[in-house]
Amino acid sequence: MALMITDECINCDVCEPECPNGAISQGEEYYVIDPGLCTECVGHYDTPQCVDVCPVECILTNPEHEESKETLQQKFLTLTGQA
């Protein structure tokens, strides 16, 4: 699954620079994650870096974008030009 940021986000700015795919950006009210770019850091790291640094634990899996680890790996390969 891709990740999502809930409305509990405090706009602390720590997640955005941690995303290796550039999937996180400032939304109208709080940060948002582009599910087309989010690989949950598969291919880059063992754990999602944004989740690791979030001080309010507002980054959850997005139930509207269910993806297997294999799908996330393929997305990583496509995004990095390795597919």
Q: What does pTM read for this prediction?
A: 0.92
Domain ranges in the chain? 3-79
CATH architecture of 3-79: 2-Layer Sandwich (3.30)
Indicate the SS3 state at residue 9. Answer: coil
Task: From 55, 60, 56, select the one nearest 40 (Cα to Cα).
Answer: 60
Indicate the SS3 state at residue 18. Answer: helix
Say if CB 3 and CB 38 are below 8 A apart.
yes
Residue 29 tokens read as 């009210």
Summarize pLDDT for 4-23 with one digit per residue, the tens: 999 999 999 999 999 999 99
Q: CA 31 to CA 59: how far, in whole Å?
A: 10
Residue 83: pLDDT over 80: no
Token pair 């959850």 is found at: 60
Arithmetic mean of pLDDT over the chain: 96
State the average pLDDT over residues 20-33.
Answer: 97
